[in-house]
Amino acid sequence: MEPEADVRRMAGLVLVVAAAVVGLLWSLGIGFPRAPQPVDAARVRRGDLEVVLAVTGVFESRAADLAFSVPGRLVWTVPEGTAARRGEPLARLDAGELEAAAEQARHTAQAADGEAERAAAQVAAAAAEVERARAAWGAARAQVRQALFGVRAAQANLDRLRSGARPAEVQQAEAAVAAARAAWEQARRNAELQDRLLRDGAVSQAQRDAARAEEEAARARLEQAEAFLAGLRRGASPEELRSAEAQVAQARSAHQVAVAQVEQALAGLQAARSVLEQAQAALAAAKARAAAAHASWQAALERLEQAVLRAPFDGVATRVYVQPGATVGPSLPVLSFAAPGGWVVAEVDEADVGRVRVGQRARVTADAYPGVAVGARVSRVGGQVEVRAGARVVRVRLELARPVPFRVGTSVDVDLLLRTVPQVLLVPAEAVVSVEDGGAQVYVVEGGVARVRRVRTGERNDRYAAVLEGLREGELVALAEPGRLRDGQRVVVRSVQ
């Protein structure tokens, strides 16, 4: 039995060894056909290589958390995602009490305006009374001057009567008599002429009567002049002296009355001025009350306006934190509001910031938005080094070339263009495999077989590498995990870039 058992053990051992050898040969592809390895590939092409500085950043926009400046009960908000122009309402508080207060303030202001208008009317009336009193005072002063003139004339007449007529006065009276007689003679002849013309029917009765009336008036003036001359020649009689003295006394009495009237008119003017001053003071007080009432009304309107939360700029309500019915106040944001545009703030390592300049072109992408890439330019390089997670960085702002769908706070990748290498052979960076001696190689697909080829590379970015030696334009290089391919391995190309 033992020889048979040994034979079976030996046979099993042979089978195990044979299976191991077969497996080894299979893994090495020796002696057995193996299925081709599927790979993606890319054509070697000639083009410009953009050398970039890759950094990360955050999309920012003009945004704000909005809250009411007064407490109250929320009654309405816009839905999230609502676009609004600057000044349009976004939320409202229950404003019943505020509206009532504003209405009451309006009535108070209108009543104060009415009071000020009535006070202004009283000022106008008082000013008119001052003008009337000033006119009366002026008229009284004129009466005083006239009365004084009367006193002086009466006194002069009395003095003349007492002293008798002077030769010059007699001569003047004689000349007046001669002139009056000549005028009467002319009027008499004219009246006689009118009588004849009336008899002949050449003039009317009225014309004749007028001529006779003029003749009688001329005769009366002649008689008056003659009587005055006669009085001068004979001197004043006792009766005339007493009459002249009485006229002086009467003129002085009239002057005293006029002086009293001036004093009374002045007192009236002063009283009118006092009334005007009081009316003006009342008007100033009424205007002050009206101004205070309008200020209270304006304050009530402002408080009423504070019950409406309005868009501070054109934008979108990105989030609503509080629902209607809740009580809110200045410390509780109701919603977030953001402008549609935005910018990117990237953090550049302190060691690399010297390669960044204002106006430099860049490319911005975001993992959260596949397929979205937008050009940008550096608009500002920060002047301060900041510490972020142990790294020393400088904040750089970039303006985007067009609007993007990014949300505020989206993480982005930024490729800052440092320079462009023109017209070099390019292969995808993932096709290049580093080797232990520091060189590089690629797998060129030829006739369904991957052939390793050493290459010398130049500058590269995160997508492409420049090949200086080892490849020709149009050749096909493998992309799918080239580090796991073997020289001479059969492959099948799934896609070509």
Could you tell me the CATH number of the domain that includes residue 318?
Answer: 2.40.50.100
Mean pLDDT of 155-175: 81
Closest CA to 286 of 460, 42, 123, 397: 123
pLDDT at 341: 83
- Scanning the structure block, which residue is given the tokens 């003008």? 131
**With 70 as the cut, is the pLDDT of residue 27 above it?**
no
pLDDT at 483: 67
Q: Classify residue 292: in a domain, yes or no.
A: no
Confidence at 485, pLDDT banded by 50, 70, 90 = confident
Q: Classify residue 294: in a domain, yes or no.
A: no
Q: Is 325 exposed, middle or buried (0-12, 13-18, 19+ CB in 10 A)?
A: exposed
Mean pLDDT of 4-19: 54
H or E element that contains 376: strand 373-388
Contacts of 150 (CB under 8 A, 6+ apart): 251, 254, 255
Q: Classify residue 364: in a domain, yes or no.
A: yes
Q: Classify residue 28: in a domain, yes or no.
A: yes
Orientation angle between helical segments 96-163 and 238-305, nearest 10 degrees: 170
Domain count, the chain: 4
Q: What is the pLDDT of residues 90-112, one digit of tens each?
A: 999 999 988 999 999 999 999 99
Give the Cβ contact number of residue 278 at 10 Å. Answer: 13
Mean pLDDT of 195-222: 90
Mean pLDDT of 394-408: 92
Average pLDDT, the chain: 89
pLDDT at 164: 67
Closest CA to 361 of 393, 401, 412: 401
Same domain assignment for residues 156 and 234 = yes
Same domain assignment for residues 413 and 487 = yes
Confidence at 390, pLDDT banded by 50, 70, 90 = confident
Orientation angle between helical segments 205-234 and 167-199, nearest 10 degrees: 160
CATH code, domain carrying 459: 2.40.30.170
| Distances in whole angstroms, Cα of residue 229 to Cα of each of 7, 73, 240, 359, 387 | 201, 111, 15, 120, 129
pTM equals 0.47
pLDDT at 4: 56
Q: Classify residue 296: in a domain, yes or no.
A: no
Q: In whole angstroms, what is the distance from residue 215 CA to residue 194 CA?
A: 11
Q: In whole angstroms, what is the distance from residue 471 CA to residue 477 CA?
A: 9
Same domain assignment for residues 46 and 143 = no
Q: Classify residue 490: in a domain, yes or no.
A: yes
Domain range for residue 166?
Answer: 103-285
**With 80 as the cut, is the pLDDT of residue 13 above it?**
no
CB 416 within 8 A of CB 53: yes
Same domain assignment for residues 140 and 166 = yes
Same domain assignment for residues 48 and 70 = no
Measured at the alpha carbon of residue 21, what is the angle toward residues 18 and 26, in degrees to the nearest 5? 125
What is the number of residues in the chain?
A: 497
**With 60 as the cut, is the pLDDT of residue 206 above it?**
yes
CB 305 within 8 A of CB 360: no
Q: In whole angstroms, what is the distance from residue 242 CA to residue 248 CA?
A: 10
Confidence at 24, pLDDT banded by 50, 70, 90 = very low
Q: Classify residue 295: in a domain, yes or no.
A: no
Same domain assignment for residues 80 and 222 = no
Tell me the two tokens of residue 417: 């263009």
Q: What is the pLDDT of residues 126-135, one digit of tens each?
A: 999 999 999 9
Confidence at 240, pLDDT banded by 50, 70, 90 = confident
Q: What is the pLDDT of residues 268-279, one digit of tens each?
A: 999 999 999 999
Same domain assignment for residues 431 and 471 = yes
Lowest mean pLDDT among 12-26, 146-160, 218-232: 12-26
Same domain assignment for residues 254 and 349 = no
**With 90 as the cut, is the pLDDT of residue 335 above it?**
yes
Same domain assignment for residues 192 and 274 = yes
Across 4-13, 35-44, 119-128, which has the greatest mean pLDDT? 119-128
Confidence at 1, pLDDT banded by 50, 70, 90 = very low
CB 394 within 8 A of CB 57: no
Same domain assignment for residues 230 and 328 = no
Lowest mean pLDDT among 7-21, 220-234, 418-432: 7-21
Same domain assignment for residues 355 and 429 = yes
Q: In whole angstroms, what is the distance from residue 233 CA to residue 235 CA?
A: 6
Q: Classify residue 452: in a domain, yes or no.
A: yes
Same domain assignment for residues 76 and 129 = no
pLDDT at 12: 54
